[in-house]
Structure 1
Amino acid sequence: MTAFIDLHCHPPVKAYLEGPFAPYLDHVAAIFRRPVQMMEPEELADLYRSLDGRAVLLGWDAGTATGLPPFTSSQVAELVAVAPDVFVGFGGIDPHRADAVDQVDIAADAGMLGLKFHPSVQRFDPADPRYLDIFARAVAHGLVCLFHTGYTALGSGMPGGAGVETEYANPMRLDSLAARVPELSIIAAHPSWPWQDEAIATARHKPSVWLELSGWSPRRFPPALVEAVTGELLHRSLFGSDFPFITPQKWIGDWEQLDIAPEATRRILHDNAAELLGLADDRGDPDAGG
């Protein structure tokens, strides 16, 4: 298997699955038709190491909107410390917290390389001026920011969608954010249905925006997305699985059925993320370009 960096791994540990994910877990597992098994950090590291992969472990904090406990940057850092050759950490930031900017500092001090936001669960508009200080601080620390975009399985089928408001995940909000904070590296996570064209347009227009492809089987990607990420946007397209709901083996196996050029596959699976995150990693192909 080609070496890879998985930009979207939810830590399948007890504190995460039984903490901020607890109300959603059964519904999400049913949507993905895949039971979720808790794993020890060492077990998760062994899995990714056996696949010649690395995993970006995502923190989570939507406490203001949901009342649920966070999975903090310090908790992510503890997991990264188990296998720093495999794991990379992104801290979860609740933008509504009065100390949100301080939480960015804490994430950076904990060794996080990026920040994770879920606007529809957190119920906030990333481009709202009230939150721009958070992103300015991220820029100051050199942290990339990953945002959920499009439909979410979280809350899907639950009464009122469990309070999740999908409109906040329209990638056009990231277009506005990129215009207001052009130095910020922005990752638009997932194929952004029902706004896939908007996501492609945003990435084409704003060179600080990257497209991340987790949460969907590549067999279901619309042709316009495949054309964009293997063509004009090849150097700003990133692999993510959405583990434990989709495994990297499943995603990569389905991707290989698309008959994409090996050079493009290596760039999407590994090299782009290594460059974006500044990872010293010799597992990619030095001839992959860029």
Structure 2
Amino acid sequence: MRALLLSIALLTTSAPAFAQDAVVDTHVHLHKGEASLAEYRAQLKAAGQSVDAFGAMWFGGPNQALAGNPADIASRNDALIALAAKNPDMIAIATVHPYDGDAALAEVDRVAAGGVRLLKIHPHTQKFDAADPRVLTLVKHAGDRGMIVVMDNASIVPSDNEKLFNLALSAPKTKFIFGHMGGLGFRFWNILALARTAENLFADNIYFDISASVILAADSPIEEEYVWTIRNVGVDHVLIASDFPQISLPKTLEAFAKLDLTDAERAKIRSGNARKLLGL
């Protein structure tokens, strides 16, 4: 009996640790397709780190998905989707360009019908204005198709936070993941604590990944404010992410571990929130 009780106790105490170890990385760039994927896995292996799942996109950096060539974008989406089919832990993130109009909407229909749940668009890299009406049309359409829209939010374009906030307010049926949580402009997002108090204003449809910004915040004079912001936007709406290859997941997790968060908060941000949002 004592041995049985000891076994139960060990299992009970190990459960939180297992939850702490789980990781879903929601922001990976595979600029060179399968070669980049091999590099990502090698980097994790060298650090003794594993991932339960990771969201990957093909564009960004040297691969710009610019307007005017929707056929090329569709072809590259197909290559990424095929790679994900061979890697069960990989979640394909497709893209389109908002200024491609009907062609972009048709591509959203096509990839959504094929089971793709995430759509990434990037105002800086793709050279579009987040306040353009064509962007609102696109994100509403993606939301109607059950897709989550991922957008860069590093505050490297004018009025980045303000434009994304108003975009999310105007598309309440679409869920968004804003990458980098505003970069060094993260303080803006504390407005969500007030937005939730305004009747019929905010649909609580904004999530954040903390790639890059967490590295700047950890062990810095702004760390307490950064953690305060995580709690104000809602711990349930925050996701861990690396932004590979620019930043590694091990380096991101090392910085994340320095933040003054509870074990329960850490577990949600590392994997629990992504699992719930993406239905993993």
Shorter-chain TM-score category? 0.7 to 0.9
- Segment of structure 1 superposing worse, 196-205 or 180-189: 196-205
Structure 1 contact 48–54 (Cα < 8 Å) conserved? no
Looking at structure 2, the residues matched to 93 and 269 of structure 1 have their Cα atoms a distance apart, in angstroms, of 28
- Aligned residue number for residue 263 of structure 1: 264
Which segments of 5 or more consecutive residues in structure 1 lack a partner in the other structure? 16-37, 153-165, 280-290
- Residue by residue over 1:6-63, the C-alpha shift from the partner in whole angstroms, topping out at 9 and shown as x without a partner, is 1110015258xxxxxxxxxxxxxxxxxxxxxx53x45645766961331100243532
Encode CA deviations 1:94-113: one digit per residue, 9 max, x unaligned.
11113111111122133211
Higher helix residue share: 2
The answer to whether 1:6 aligns with 2:25 is: yes
**Superposed displacement of residue 219, structure 1:** 5.1
Note if 1:126 corresponds to 2:138. Answer: no
Could you tell me how far 1:125 is from its partner in structure 2? 2.7
Match of 2:97 in 1: 94
Structure 1 match to 2:198: none
* CA deviation profile, 1:82-140 (whole Å, cap 9, x unmatched): 211x1001111111113111111122133211110111222323343233321222112
The answer on whether the counterparts of 1:185 and 1:209 sit within 8 Å (CA) in structure 2 is yes
Is the alpha carbon distance of 1:74 and 1:102 closer, same or farther for their aligned partners in structure 2, counting shifts above 3 Å? same
What residue number does 1:220 align with? 217
Kindly indicate whether the alpha-carbon contact (under 8 Å) linking 1:65 and 1:123 is maintained by their aligned counterparts in 2: no
Matches within 5 A, 1:1-290: 2-13=21-32, 38-39=35-36, 41=37, 44=40, 51-60=50-59, 62-64=65-67, 70=73, 72-84=76-88, 86-98=89-101, 99-152=103-156, 166-167=157-158, 170-202=160-192, 205=195, 206=202, 207-218=204-215, 220=217, 222=222, 223-230=224-231, 233-279=234-280
Query: Compared with structure 1, are the counterparts of its residues 52 and 122 closer, same or farther at alpha carbon in structure 2 (3 Å cutoff)?
Result: closer
CA RMSD between the two structures:
2.8
Contact 2:58–2:80 under 8 Å retained in 1: yes
| Residue identity matched to 2:105 | V
- The alignment of Structure 1 onto Structure 2 pairs a total of residues equal to 240
Q: Judging changes above 3 Å, is the alpha-carbon distance between structure 1 residues 63 and 52 closer, same or farther for their aligned structure 2 residues?
A: closer
Counterpart Cα distance in 2 of 1:151 and 1:179: 19
Q: Which amino acid aligns with 1:225?
A: Y
Which SS does the other structure have where 2:182 is aligned? coil
Larger Rg: 2
TM-score (norm 2): 0.75
